[in-house]
Amino acid sequence: AQSVAQPEDQVNVAEGNPLTVKCTYSVSGNPYLFWYVQYPNRGLQFLLKYITGDNLVKGSYGFEAEFNKSQTSFHLKKPSALVSDSALYFCAVRAPGSGNTGKLIFGQGTTLQVKP
């Protein structure tokens, strides 16, 4: 069965420090991987995706993520955190061949808290 795990409920980091939000996945074949961010009382916003190609993917707001097939991971990173990055982050996976369903399997979410 396909699944996504975000092992940390919350990540705390000081402003200006690098941040990492972890994600591991389990899916047959080559996955499509995504990160979304949710600010308070808002819908989710797309950050970045990995479909194929370069393992390092760059996205919105200075975020990037590294696809590691051997470790089945897709960790979200940013070199220098901002207080405004504080939000709820979701990793998601879609299995190839899922066709028109477009069904994304979401992780449970990780709250990122950036302190001044």
Partner 1 sequence: NAGVTQTPKFQVLKTGQSMTLQCAQDMNHEYMSWYRQDPGMGLRLIHYSVGAGITDQGEVPNGYNVSRSTTEDFPLRLLSAAPSQTSVYFCASRTQGATNEKLFFGSGTQLSVL
Contact residues toward partner 1 (CB under 8 A) are: 4, 9, 32, 34, 36, 41-46, 49, 51, 90, 94, 100-104, 106-109
The answer to whether 92 touches 34, Cβ cutoff 8 Å, is: yes
Quick one: how far is CA 4 from the chain centroid?
A: 10
Instruction: Tell me how far, at minimum, the Cβ of 116 lies from partner 1, in Å.
Output: 27
Q: Which is nearer to partner 1, 110 or 114 (CB)?
A: 110
Instruction: Tell me how far, at minimum, the Cβ of 71 lies from partner 1, in Å.
Output: 21
Q: Return the closest-CA partner of residue 110 out of 7, 9, 5.
A: 9
Structure tokens at 115: 């302190």
